[in-house]
C-alpha cells in the first residue's frame, strides 16, 4: 500500500511539471534563469501590459524555470541595461513595448544577446526601435500596420517545437493581427502562421510566431497579446512558456 501511495504521488508531481512544460529533472537541476521584463513604452501603450507581465511572472514561478525582474520606467530601464548590469540576467522580455526605448547602451545590449542570451518579444515588441535596423534584423521583422481585430485560424508550422508542442491546429484566435515589413522567411524558423489575410481573407502567408538565432543568442517572437483574454488563454500560456524555455536554452 505504501509503495502504491508513493507511486501515485510521484506520478502526480511528474504530471504537474509536464503540464507547465518543464522536465522534472531540469526543474531540480537548473537554477532558475533571471529575466529582465520590460514594460516601458514610447508609443501606443497596450492595456494588456500589466496582465501579460503578471502572466509571464506566474509562468516562471509555477514552472521554476525563471524569475522576473521588471523595468517599468525610463530610469529603471537605463539602470538595468548598462553593460555591467546586463550580466545579471539570462534574457529579456519585451512586453508590448513600443517606440525608441531608453536603453543605457544599445551596442552592449545587442552584444549581450549575441553572447548567448534570450530575447523574447510579444506583440508590439515588433513596434519597437523602428529606427534601429540592427534590432529589426535581430527580431526578424518590423510592424507595418494592422486593421480591425479579427477572428483567425492559426496554423502550426512546427508542431515539435517547445513553443507549439501539444497545441492543436487550427488555433482559433480573436486578436489584433499584425502585418509586417522587413520579414524574410528564410531568416527565421516559423512556428505559427496564417494562410489568409486576417481581414480580407486573401490567400497568402502571414507570420504569427517564429524563432531565430543570432550569434549564440536565441530570439522568440509571438504576435498575439493585444487582448487580456488572449494573454490569459491556456494555449497562449503554454506557447509563451515553451518559447521562453527554448530561448533560454533549457
pLDDT per position in the chain (250 positions), as tens?
333 333 433 343 334 344 444 444 444 447 999 999 999 999 999 999 999 999 999 999 999 999 999 999 999 999 999 999 999 999 999 999 999 999 999 999 999 999 999 999 999 999 999 999 999 999 999 999 999 999 999 999 999 999 999 999 999 999 999 999 999 999 999 999 999 999 999 999 999 999 999 999 999 999 999 999 999 999 999 999 999 999 999 9
- What are the residues whose beta carbons fall under 8 Å from the beta carbon of 202, sequence distance 6 or more? 196
| Distance (Å, whole) CA 68 – CA 56 | 8
**32: DSSP letter:** P
Quick one: pLDDT at residue 30?
Answer: 75
Is 171:193 a contact under the CB 8 Å cutoff? no
Q: Please tell me the distance from the alpha carbon of residue 190 to that of residue 167, in angstroms, as a whole number.
A: 15
Q: Where are the beta strands (DSSP E) in the chain?
A: 33-38, 66-71, 91-95, 118-122, 142-145, 150-156, 171-175, 179-181, 189-196, 203-214, 217-222
Residue bearing cell 545587442:
110
Q: 155 forms bridges with which residues in the sheet?
A: 193
Instruction: Supply φ then ψ for residue 189, to 5 degrees.
Output: -110, 115
The reported pLDDT for the residue numbered 1 is 39
Q: What is the pLDDT of residue 4?
A: 35
CATH topology assigned to domain 30-144+207-247: Rossmann fold (3.40.50)
pLDDT at residue 20, rounded to an integer: 44
Amino acid at each position: 500500500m505504501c509503495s502504491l501511495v508513493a507511486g501515485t504521488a510521484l506520478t502526480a508531481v511528474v504530471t504537474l511539471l509536464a503540464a507547465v512544460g518543464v522536465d522534472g529533472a531540469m526543474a531540480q537541476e537548473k537554477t532558475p534563469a533571471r529575466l529582465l521584463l520590460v514594460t516601458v513604452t514610447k508609443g501606443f501603450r497596450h492595456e494588456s501590459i500589466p496582465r501579460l507581465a503578471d502572466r509571464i511572472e506566474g509562468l516562471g514561478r509555477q514552472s521554476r524555470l525563471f524569475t522576473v525582474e521588471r523595468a517599468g520606467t525610463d530610469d529603471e530601464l537605463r539602470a538595468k541595461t548598462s553593460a555591467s548590469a546586463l550580466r545579471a540576467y539570462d534574457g529579456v522580455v519585451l512586453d508590448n513595448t513600443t517606440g525608441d526605448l531608453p536603453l543605457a547602451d544599445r551596442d552592449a545590449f545587442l552584444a549581450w544577446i549575441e553572447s548567448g542570451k534570450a530575447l523574447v518579444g510579444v506583440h508590439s515588441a515588433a513596434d519597437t526601435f523602428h529606427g534601429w535596423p540592427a534590432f529589426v534584423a535581430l527580431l526578424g521583422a518590423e510592424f507595418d500596420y494592422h486593421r480591425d481585430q479579427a477572428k483567425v485560424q492559426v496554423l502550426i508550422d512546427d508542431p515539435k517545437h517547445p513553443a507549439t508542442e501539444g497545441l492543436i491546429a487550427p488555433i482559433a484566435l480573436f486578436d489584433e493581427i499584425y502585418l509586417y515589413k522587413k520579414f524574410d522567411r528564410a531568416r527565421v524558423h516559423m512556428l505559427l502562421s496564417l494562410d489568409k489575410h486576417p481581414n480580407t481573407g486573401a490567400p497568402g502567408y502571414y507570420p504569427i510566431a517564429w524563432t531565430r538565432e543570432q550569434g549564440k543568442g536565441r530570439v522568440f517572437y509571438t504576435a498575439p497579446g493585444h487582448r487580456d483574454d488572449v494573454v490569459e488563454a491556456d494555449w497562449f500560456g503554454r506557447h509563451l512558456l515553451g518559447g521562453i524555455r527554448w530561448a533560454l536554452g533549457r
